Structure 1
């Protein structure tokens, strides 16, 4: 688990650094920018897969109860 998280964060940092580096030059290298963004998004996707959903047990956590109209 820790190795996977480290790889995800490394992808995010490396992709961000590559994207910033490609923007800093006078003549931008579009392929380098695209590669940096792809690496950044890949790391973000892998990191977000392990985050649990906020609404996983939606029925159990509601505060409003429904009433049956049997009139």
Structure 2
């Protein structure tokens, strides 16, 4: 597993756990909740940067064949 993927996974898991912990308390700690959400979003953003777009291909393969007019 790539070190970048490991960092992304750790950010997502830790951010989610911190956000859940901050919200589970009787008096919610707003700063802790915000930090957890920011860490979670940072991990998700870094992960989504590595996913290729479906619109990257210039020429799409189709099943329809066109006939050349002579």
Sort the TM-score into its range (normalised by shorter chain).
0.7 to 0.9
Normalising by structure 2, report the TM-score.
0.83
Distance 2:61 2:35 in 1: 44
Corresponding residue number in structure 1 for 2:24: 24
4+ residue runs over 3 A deviation: none
Number of matched pairs: 64
Distance 2:46 2:3 in 1: 12
Distance 1:56 1:43 in 2: 23
The gaps in structure 2 that reach 5 residues or longer are 65-70
Distance 1:41 1:62 in 2: 35
Distance 2:37 2:23 in 1: 12
When the two chains are superposed, the root-mean-square deviation of aligned CA atoms in Å is 1.8
Q: Secondary structure at the match of 2:60?
A: coil
Normalising by structure 1, report the TM-score.
0.82
Distance 2:4 2:34 in 1: 24
Question: How far 1:61 moved relative to its partner?
Answer: 0.9
Distance 2:28 2:61 in 1: 51
The gaps in structure 1 that reach 5 residues or longer are 65-71
